[in-house]
Structure 1
């Protein structure tokens, strides 16, 4: 039972379902708001509407992107020094409180600009930056070195599957479940309910894991330390240990020669640069695509928007299968190239999307 209480997967699943509900409801609420309040002629209806939604999301995403810079660092430092639950609990509370604002916008007709304050509050409590970093650190601490990669892959799969399921049903909830003429109230309440579960689970159920011993540490406990054995040269273990150390190429390397442990600074700089550029391209493309699908030729509604978001989460499953298959044939560099080429091919297809099926092909 104690071991189960260290599992972070329930929070990952609950938070991602909540986020899927929120993303669909926010997009549709923003669209409905500007559709009712913006003045335009019939000929310019879709262009003006798309511009208004684009401006909203540009400001909203900029606030979300910049506000967590300092808070994420502070929370991470506090979490490392005291309790890792801080990097989970604080962002979850921030998500819960900040996303209450959308419910107020729907129920009491608050101005849509209130959501900029919601984004700022979300960012100041760490946002996804702190939350996901905390999840990865938690999973690493709760797993042995030999099973760490498997644990991280499982968490990614849980994240993708939860987002897939949440996105599939979000559009149906938005349309079919409402209070009066207030579409989206039930969907936002479902999202908030998932966040309440995550907050309560992280505070009262989740137990900070003790550092799991690595295989090397376990082996060291089974055997006497080399220093202890040295005190007894007649011990057979000493002879065997000495023989292993003499033949160890790392132990017997040239003193001070640590280059095999230090990666090239140029490679690190190029890796960071490529990751930044890739994220800029992918996030920018996703922002444009999410708004593009609302106008002709696709003219999607809430259900189709939910299905489109679900298609994006399928990437987590196909990526896992792709890595599993291609890792046997190519190295890490080959996997990186394959990933970038597949992304470029998908975005190229998206540039010519005029039918829904082609959107899914590009995804």
Structure 2
């Protein structure tokens, strides 16, 4: 009897979205380390005129990641929007299952590149295939949409942070294991093959679970409609000719939405640009990390998901969501500024420790936006935000890459100082949102009295 109950419980868990998140992120953590080491090995003999061999390798690696990341951001835009519309029409699994096929194919292509020692440029083709199937820009909004439509407005930020928690916990485990698994040696294949084989296996299991076991049972919110939402609710009735106080408030709230999007774009640019450079920064002197240290460093980055979740759980009851966003941005700005002066591994982890709450802003911004639209368009709204973040990468990725290459000789950490400055700039619009919201509450209180 107890065995039967355990089996039913296991099946019930496998029908949820959580196993999908864990399996996918475990596979990604393993393949990310493998890709980082494959790029390092592929650029060992890169040379540039009038540049030292070390700087030449850094330029070759940053050029590869610049092109690779630009493809990952540009190609998925239209497919992700189509998949989001498909999801909003009732097929909620489609924006999840189709990108998972792309994840699997990308891991297989990386495995083939490493086994047969093909040129790194083959990965550009893999990135195109991955993007045509929606990529992360379709997968993550699909996951967040399921979390949003199955939770109340009051609990939405907490539910979304739980998703981030699972994502981060799986990333920590996968990253810690990846460095050691990379060193598992095969006499016929060499290092890294076992690591990539396990990554492919995990992604196969993830795809099978999402296709055959995952169930989508959204629970529409039955709470009364919020009349103070940032986006006005659409209806078939024509608005009254004279401008009412409600219409004026709706107009003011549209400005708040724009300010939230601007905040997300600035913060996304700062984080995305800094993290892209950080991948190659740790491979150069004086750090010169090995595969094991790369895995530990990636685990430290994933650990921020856990600390950010704890930050939301602790502070959400005593401060507003806007204050949570500001706290997270300040955490990232201080940590990444300290990263500018890192010269030892211990200093790296000290800088990372300042980023404890750096992942709070983005899911909280998504939570604020998702509360303002009906469930039927929630997926599209979140995907539009994701696509805006992707498009902004077309500007900040080349900018950060070229700035890093030109400051290698005198201040390699300059890009991290730049990222810190952009983060501080991004705190301005969200602060305006806080002030406007406070004024609107005071005006509403005055009218009611």
TM-score range, shorter chain: 0.7 to 0.9
- Aligned match of 1:81: 89
Counting only pairs closer than 5 Å after superposition, residues 162-311 of structure 1 correspond to structure 2 as: 162-180=170-188, 182-209=190-217, 211-214=218-221, 216=223, 257=246, 264-311=253-300
Q: Does the alignment pair 1:20 with 2:36?
A: no
Q: Structure 2: give runs of 5+ residues left out of the alignment.
A: 1-7, 225-242, 353-449
* 270 and 179 in structure 1: CA distance in 2 versus 1, 3 angstrom threshold: farther
Q: Displacement, 1:144?
A: 5.5
Q: Secondary structure at the match of 1:267?
A: helix
- Aligned match of 2:119: 111
Q: Structure 1: give runs of 5+ residues left out of the alignment.
A: 218-253
Structure 1 segments (4+ residues) deviating >6 Å: none
Task: Please say which structure displays the higher CA radius of gyration.
Answer: 1
Q: Secondary structure at the match of 2:183?
A: helix
Contact 1:146 1:214 in 2 (8 A): no
Q: Displacement, 1:32?
A: 0.6
Question: 1:138 aligned to 146, 161, 165, which one?
Answer: 146
| TM-score normalised by the chain length of structure 1 | 0.83
Q: Deviations over 1:253-294 (max 9, x none)?
A: x98835556652222222211210111111100111110110
Contact 2:315 2:324 in 1 (8 A): yes
Distance of 1:73 and 1:212 partners within structure 2: 24
- Aligned match of 2:333: 344
Q: Deviations over 1:297-328 (max 9, x none)?
A: 11101000010010011111111222233334
Q: Deviations over 1:319-359 (max 9, x none)?
A: 12222333344322322222111111111110000011111
Q: Displacement, 1:145?
A: 5.7
RMSD over aligned CA atoms reads 2.4
Distance of 2:222 and 2:12 partners within structure 1: 19
Distance of 1:5 and 1:263 partners within structure 2: 44
* 357 and 147 in structure 1: CA distance in 2 versus 1, 3 angstrom threshold: same
Counting only pairs closer than 5 Å after superposition, residues 301-340 of structure 1 correspond to structure 2 as: 301-340=290-329
Q: Does the alignment pair 1:96 with 2:85?
A: no
Distance of 2:65 and 2:75 partners within structure 1: 15
Contact 1:144 1:212 in 2 (8 A): no
Q: Displacement, 1:175?
A: 0.9
| TM-score normalised by the chain length of structure 2 | 0.68
Question: 1:357 aligned to 343, 346, 349, which one?
Answer: 346
Contact 1:106 1:182 in 2 (8 A): no
Q: Displacement, 1:190?
A: 0.9
Q: Secondary structure at the match of 2:219?
A: coil
Higher mean C-alpha deviation, range 305-314 or range 152-161: 152-161
Distance of 2:257 and 2:68 partners within structure 1: 31
- Aligned match of 2:79: 71
